[in-house]
Chain A
Amino acid sequence: MNLKRSNRNLALIRRLALTPYSFWAVLFILVPLIFVAYYAFTDSAFHFTTENILRFFKATSEISDENGTRMVHTYLLIFGRSLKLAVISTIICLVFGYPFAYLISRASPKTQGILITLIMIPMWMNFLIRTYAWMTILQDTGIFNGLLGMLGLGKIHIIGTESAVVIGMVYDYFPYMILPIYSVMAKMDIKLIEAAHDLGCNGIGVLRRVIWPLSLPGVISGITMVLIPSISTFYISQKLGNGKFYLIGDAIESQYTANNLHFAAAIAFILMVILLICMAVMQRAANKRATA
């Protein structure tokens, strides 16, 4: 009898244990997201409007470059640019990070520990500092051009270009690609690879048919961990793009500083919806691969 009651008490305590977090999650995770939608679809007097959302798709501005002057859809151009730079950075991280993760996972346990710690050191430095370091390196009077000069090569102007932004993104988020791929590869059964070799698979075949499919969950979380911060960054583009390369994160940030909260919310809302769709598509593709 006594036991039954204390069991019931235990169940009650467990239910109570979840209560603070439940309230917290609703109040500070769900409700704020509703506020994004609410601000996105209202004007400054909080009357319903689709103006902010339409402005994202319709706003145009004039740009002039070496190809002459033309009208462009401002925010679509910005979004396209963000997507392009983020995808390029993600691909570079994957191409260089994947083999590196594999190398680490095949090293002796001691070397693995050392290499992982080494990769984590830059990750633990604030990304503002990491980006700032590149800003000083890539400046016209910086180390990079100094080295080029010493080698007798001409100086190149790199700060303020898309390449500089990509370098910053790759540098800042490279460890986020390596770590998840490594953690999947480290758990991979080496016997599977040996079996594939024994059954006459060559190196490329083993990579394509055994290692790659098994490491796919790590690759997918690596891709999301690089893509999402790169697509929404604003500091990297401010510092390395010299403010000229306006990304979607800059657009949100500048509307926020200008106190245009409704339009900032609209851009955030659109970004969120697009990312949700992307993630759903990617997750579905991964699941299909896993079941096939």
Chain B
Amino acid sequence: MKHVSRIYTALILLFLFAPIAILLVFSFNSSKSLSVFSSFSMHWYRELFRDSETLSSVKNTLILAVSASIISTVMGTAAAVGMHRLKKRYLRVAMDAVTNIPMINPDIITGISLMLMFVFVGRFFGAATSLNFGTMLIAHITFCLPYVILQVLPKIQQMDASLPEAAMDLGCTPIKAFLKVEVPEIMPGIITGLIMAFTLSLDDFVISYFTTGNGFQTLPIRIYNMTKKTVTPKMYALATIIFFVILALLLLSNVFDANTAQTIREARSRKKANHAKKEL
């Protein structure tokens, strides 16, 4: 049984990684062939770094992802704080339902719906092209918001409601109580939300495709345009770089996670030790 599950795991991982491995290997191929490896060369990497359009799309992607994730994290955190205290049940249900829409709807519908509105409003004001960086930023904030709220809301629910009250009893103003007591308490949720929003924005193609215009290209749109007609190993070089960046980030976050887990464990054992001392 153990062997069967080992083999099964190996096969699944092979299926998941073989295509990526092939991209990696062929990114160093000197010829354009996709099945025969002629000789090792960095040719396609040099080509890639000469491709100014791709380089500027990387910059665009980062600018968009940073702005979209920061704005959606601030707005989403505030929204979660407000949603948590909604007294009227029907309001809470309505807010939850609306927040779920962008997560449930296929991306293509979210993209089309925003595009239709932008085009309509643009036409209303007589603009020739209504899609640009701004519309794309709005779209990205919109699809990131629900994920931020979903990360922050549970943390607020877990928090002891008397904490901010205690802070105010001790003379804090409400805003100070929120910033100094509540925010640190829900920080893990805010950070996860921020990271999620950032990666979602980096990765999005479909919604961006429908809401971009005016020549504003993000990396996924650039990849789409690059792969539209011809097959170019430049893409492999790009994929290889992306793969190693992701790998590095994941490893880093794992180390970071392990560190925090370690601190939490240590804190807990210290607490237990203290308890034990008291009991003695």
- On A, residues with C-beta under 8 Å from B are 3, 6-7, 9-11, 13-22, 24-26, 28-33, 35-36, 38-39, 96, 99-100, 103, 113, 115, 117-122, 124-130, 132-137, 139, 141-143, 145-146, 171, 174-175, 224, 228-229, 231-232, 234-235, 239, 249, 252-253, 256, 261, 264-265, 268, 271-272, 275, 279
List 19 other contacts, CB 8 Å, given A28-B142, A129-B235, A235-B205: A9-B174, A14-B81, A17-B79, A18-B82, A39-B120, A103-B5, A122-B17, A124-B199, A126-B223, A128-B205, A129-B242, A130-B20, A133-B20, A235-B224, A256-B210, A261-B116, A265-B116, A268-B109, A268-B113
Q: Please indicate the chain B residues that have their CB under 8 angstroms from the CB of A252 in the complex.
A: 108, 112
Complex CA gap A174/B11 in Å reads 14
Q: Report the minimal beta-carbon distance from B221 to chain A, rounded to whole angstroms.
A: 9
- A24-B142, A28-B138, A126-B205 known; A143-B34 Cβ under 8 A: yes
CB-based nearest A residue for B249: A124
User: For chain B residues 27-67, which have a beta carbon within 8 Å of chain A?
Assistant: 33-36
Query: Do the beta carbons of B250 and A120 come within 8 Å of each other?
Result: yes
Query: Do the beta carbons of B108 and A253 come within 8 Å of each other?
Result: yes
Most chain A beta-carbon neighbours within 10 Å: one of B9, B102, B177: B9
Query: Do the beta carbons of B220 and A118 come within 8 Å of each other?
Result: no
Query: Do the beta carbons of A118 and B5 come within 8 Å of each other?
Result: no
CB-based nearest A residue for B240: A129
List 5 A-B pairs, Cβ < 8 Å: A16-B82, A20-B78, A25-B98, A122-B16, A249-B108
- Whether B280 is near chain A, meaning CB under 8 Å from some CB there, is no
Query: Do the beta carbons of A39 and B116 come within 8 Å of each other?
Result: yes
Query: Do the beta carbons of A36 and B109 come within 8 Å of each other?
Result: yes
- Whether B215 is near chain A, meaning CB under 8 Å from some CB there, is no
Query: Do the beta carbons of B78 and A21 come within 8 Å of each other?
Result: yes
Complex CA gap A135/B224 in Å reads 13
Complex CA gap A96/B16 in Å reads 12
Query: Do the beta carbons of A261 and B119 come within 8 Å of each other?
Result: yes
Complex CA gap A18/B81 in Å reads 7
Q: Please indicate the chain A residues that have their CB under 8 angstroms from the CB of B191 in the complex.
A: none
Q: Report the minimal beta-carbon distance from B135 to chain A, rounded to whole angstroms.
A: 10
Complex CA gap A90/B277 in Å reads 56
Q: Please indicate the chain A residues that have their CB under 8 angstroms from the CB of B16 in the complex.
A: 118-119, 121-122, 171, 174-175
